[in-house]
Structure 1
Amino acid sequence: MAEPDFVITLIGSKLAVPGNEFIYRGPAAECEKCKLKNICLNLDKNKKYRIVGLRNGMELDCLVHDTGVKAVEVVACPIIAVMESRKAFNGSRMTYEAPDCDKECVNFALCHPDGIASGEKYTICEVFSEEIGPCGKGLTLKKVELRP
């Protein structure tokens, strides 16, 4: 599958390293009065991103990051999750709905991965063959890679 197009955004200078992944949690209160907010706040809230490149070495002042910010190129990260095996088909589109399960379940983190949002559409890019541990609800689960 081809690498998706990147988005240019600003991130704290200490974090501006190719390969770093992060979840964009939305703006801080200090961002409202910043003249660069349209460049910084151009990502989707609660989605996971990976830095794939740096734009230039110039650091810009920031009210949130003590060492300023740098321009970076980011792409949305694929998300590894589990889902019912009867619904897991390579290339299919699905709307993610978080399952209603017990937080003590061994699969809870995979059923509720960081960077995924209920109601959002994803493409199943890969269905892994490995067996997933027991589901507290008795479901047969498959590990999948999802892309927005």
Structure 2
Amino acid sequence: MITLIGSKLAKEGEKFIYLGELEECKDCKFKNLCHNLEVGRIYKIKSVRSTNHRCKIHLGGVKAVEVEISEIEAIIESKKALEGLSFTYSPILCDNSDCENYKFCVPQGLVEGDKVRVEKVLERVECKNNLSLRKVILRLI
């Protein structure tokens, strides 16, 4: 998938969250190429093209980049933490937003109902709600 991103941000391996179109983009000739991603998803830059294009938003212009939806670190129930397992994602329900693990229990880039696959199983997680949890790397499928 090819899109445009600010030249200063265009580095292979970098990740970003696509937040959507700005008002200043409405009349731009590159609008369809810049705004061809899904809002709220995390993307990883696979390669960067060398040509720079002018942009009203980004100082220094924009560059074409090849992107893919990024893998996401998340916390899931231990019983689902098996490499290669595919399932329908549901965040860990927790109201303790001060917890150090909260951002992984409700990670950006995933929404309830997404189809995901466990790419890698990481460490066990201590949960103040006494849930059996593991940190994993998930990929949308």
Using the size of structure 1 for normalisation, the TM-score is 0.86
Amino acid at match of 1:66: L
Corresponding residue SS for 1:33: coil
- Distance, in Å, in 2 between the alignment partners of 1:107 and 1:51 is 26
Among 51, 69, 85, which residue is 1:92 paired with?
85
Alignment RMSD: 1.5
1:49-70 deviation per Cα after TM superposition (whole angstroms, max 9, x unaligned): 1112112x22111121122111
Contact 2:71 2:137 in 1 (8 A): yes
Residue 132 of structure 1: aligned partner: 125
Amino acid at match of 1:92: L
- Distance, in Å, in 1 between the alignment partners of 2:24 and 2:115 is 31
Contact 2:45 2:65 in 1 (8 A): yes
Amino acid at match of 1:88: A
Between Structure 1 and Structure 2, which shows a larger proportion of strand residues?
Answer: 2
- Distance, in Å, in 2 between the alignment partners of 1:117 and 1:61 is 34
What are the ranges of 5 or more consecutive residues in structure 2 without an aligned counterpart?
A: none
Identity %: 44
- Distance, in Å, in 2 between the alignment partners of 1:54 and 1:107 is 33
* 4+ runs deviating over 3 angstroms: none
Residue 108 of structure 1: aligned partner: 102
- Distance, in Å, in 2 between the alignment partners of 1:44 and 1:94 is 21
What are the ranges of 5 or more consecutive residues in structure 1 without an aligned counterpart?
A: 1-6
The reply on whether 1:44 has 2:38 as its aligned counterpart is yes
- Distance, in Å, in 1 between the alignment partners of 2:113 and 2:25 is 27
- Distance, in Å, in 2 between the alignment partners of 1:33 and 1:117 is 31
1:9-46 deviation per Cα after TM superposition (whole angstroms, max 9, x unaligned): 10001111112111111111212221211111111111
Contact 1:47 1:117 in 2 (8 A): no
Corresponding residue SS for 1:30: helix
Using the size of structure 2 for normalisation, the TM-score is 0.89
Q: Alignment length, in residue pairs?
A: 139
Contact 2:10 2:63 in 1 (8 A): yes
Contact 2:75 2:92 in 1 (8 A): no
